[in-house]
Amino acid sequence: MTSWNRQKSALVLGSFAVYFGAQFILRLSISPVAELDEAEQLVLTQQLSLVYGSQPPLYTWLQWTIFQAIGVGIPGLALLKNLLLFSTYAGTYFLALSISGDGRKATLASLLLLLIPQVVWESQRDLTHSVLVTTVCVLTLLTLRFLQKNPTAPRFALLGFIAGIGILSKYNYALFMGALVLAIFLCPDFRRTFRTRSALWLPAVALATTLPHLLAALNAPSRVTADLHKFGIGGSTGGIWPILSGLGELGVAVVSYLGPLLVVGWVVLVHRRRTHGKSGIPNTSESPTVRSWRRLLGLTATFAVFLCASLAIFAGVTEFKDRWMQPLLFFTPVLLVLWIRGAIDLRIFKSSVAAAVLVGLLVLSLIFGRTCISSRGRLAFPFPELAAAIQTEGLPTRIIFGGDRYVAGNLRLVFPQATILSHDTPTIPFPDYPAILAVWQPRKDGRNEERIRSFLAQTPIDSRDTDHTPITLSARRLYSADEKDSLKALIFPRKSFDE
């Protein structure tokens, strides 16, 4: 086992702080425009609510709190995202360090997160709730380790509170917790920990934490289930083929998520066999803690996949995405290093750190190049210039309806005093005002125009006084010499403000 001290831990955490600080600064520098999930938060944080739609409310509550402290804008969005990602990497480091007692293994486990595309790229690019729930899952395992050392009532209550905020982060936390509970029952060391009356604090506190949201969700089932179509439920006529399709999608999602880590695992196995013979196992004593946690995490991963498979078999789920695996399999780097028996060779450790640095620099370069060099993606859309065009046209901006959440959220950035509505976010009460401005991106399939009509059909509008010829606004894309983007705008006078 390698020697490790607080200074080395501080160096690891400081390195992650520098990396995510660079990500924060880069995000502020490259674009004043919000990504899709960021834009959704800009719309939702106009009010506090127990139910916002198909996602739980905790991320929006946290984002609202940050906006109250530093103002609505890209800095607040980037700050929350990078704080959560830093917490995930730091939590993974401390989890592995607490279990293995080996600083090199702990460092390697946290660095291996950089090989998971959904963590290193997608989480940084646009995810919100998945980032939060992954952080909470890390806290869950850390608290379980804390509880294992001394199972007292306050620690059970703490684990129950974290389980509650896990549900408030993203609903698939329930799959992670279900898999973890099943694994605990099959691990004698952990099962003994829960054989106490103090363990009853866990479900009691978890229920108390989630109950207000769950009751509110029961009163708004249509809003909570609005995105069930994403799972492909009910999209086929039945039979064995939908089940096979769902299982196939699950397999692809798991492999896509773990792909790079599977390669690392194979390399580790080959190296161990070459170094220690056919078994690949050195003649080194192993602590009971490492054995019990390796078994627990292995069973948790297995049960997580089986629970997803049961959704395909019994619930008709035919769509699985690799990002949905993040809160279910995020701990695989820790599991991988726990399979490494004995100390990690210093040469291999230094090579791993160097490779991680290169991956981090590559990610920073790709984020910069994706927007600033190629002028592609949502961050290059010229919302500031188009907002200036809206003001030049003299269009009313007190109440604005965006054709989708991307447009709506970015309009809040440039019109912070306006009330922003969107078709695919909950309706927000708005003040008595004589006109509503509809703004949308023109599309060949006319989908955004259909969203406008669908919304207006439920709104009291004086159509006799409405000019139904949309105004087209155009501006050059950010970082582009000749490409242009456009928005369409239309004013609708209102005759009633009580409905």
pLDDT at 263: 80
User: Per the structure block, which two tokens stand in for 361?
Assistant: 């620099």
- The answer on pLDDT for 493 being more than 90 is no
Q: Mean pLDDT throughout 424-453?
A: 74
- The answer on pLDDT for 49 being more than 70 is yes
pLDDT at 498: 44
Percentage above 90 pLDDT, the chain: 59
More confident residue, 57 or 431: 57
Label each residue of the chain as H, E or C. CCCCCHHHHHHHHHHHHHHHHHHHHHHHHHCCCCCHHHHHHHHHCCCCCCCCCCCCCHHHHHHHHHHHHHCCCHHHHHHHHHHHHHHHHHHHHHHHHHHHCCHHHHHHHHHHHHHCHHHHHHHHHCCCHHHHHHHHHHHHHHHHHHHHHCCCHHHHHHHHHHHHHHHHHCCCHHHHHHHHHHHHHCCHHHHHHCCCHHHHHHHHHHHHHHHHHHHHHHCCHHHHCCCHHHHCCCCCCCCHHHHHHHHHHHHHHHHHHHHHHHHHHHHHHHHHHHHHCCCCCCCCCCCHHHHHHHHHHHHHHHHHHHHHHHHHHHCCCCCCCHHHHHHHHCCHHHHHHHCCCCCCCHHHHHHHHHHHHHHHHHHHHHHHHHHHHCCCCHHHCCHHHHHHHHHHCCCCCCEEEECCHHHHHHHHHHCCCCEEEECCCCCCCCCCCCEEEEEECCCCCCHHHHHHHHHHHCCCECHHHCCCCCEEEEEECCCCCCCEEEEEEEEEEECCCCC
More confident residue, 461 or 313: 313
Q: Mean pLDDT throughout 418-424?
A: 83
Q: Mean pLDDT throughout 9-25?
A: 96
Q: Which of the listed ranges 237-241, 279-283, 401-405, 448-452 does the model predict with the highest average pLDDT?
A: 401-405
Q: Mean pLDDT throughout 114-120?
A: 91
Q: Mean pLDDT throughout 360-370?
A: 91
CA-closest candidate to residue 180, choices 132, 147, 150, 220: 147
pLDDT at 238: 63
Per-residue pLDDT of 371-419, as tens digits, reads 888 777 899 999 999 999 999 988 888 889 888 899 999 999 999 989 9
Per-residue pLDDT of 271-288, as tens digits, reads 666 665 555 555 557 789
pLDDT at 348: 82
Mutual orientation of helices 346-368 and 103-111 as an angle, nearest 10°?
A: 30
pLDDT at 274: 67
Per-residue pLDDT of 144-197, as tens digits, reads 999 999 999 999 999 999 999 999 999 999 999 999 999 999 999 999 999 999
- The answer on pLDDT for 358 being more than 60 is yes
H helices then E strands: how many in the chain?
Answer: 21, 5
What is the average pLDDT value for the chain, to the nearest integer?
87
Q: Mean pLDDT throughout 27-49?
A: 94
pLDDT classification of 432: cutoffs 50, 70, 90? low
pLDDT at 302: 97
pTM over 0.85: yes
pLDDT at 231: 65
pLDDT at 496: 46
Per-residue pLDDT of 65-94, as tens digits, reads 999 999 999 999 999 999 999 999 999 999
Least confident of 60-64, 87-91, 468-472: 468-472
What is the amino acid identity at position 312?
A
pLDDT classification of 1: cutoffs 50, 70, 90? very low
Q: Mean pLDDT throughout 239-266?
A: 86
CA-closest candidate to residue 245, choices 309, 303, 307: 309
pLDDT classification of 345: cutoffs 50, 70, 90? confident
What are the phi and psi torsion angles at 34 (to 5°)?
Answer: -90, 145
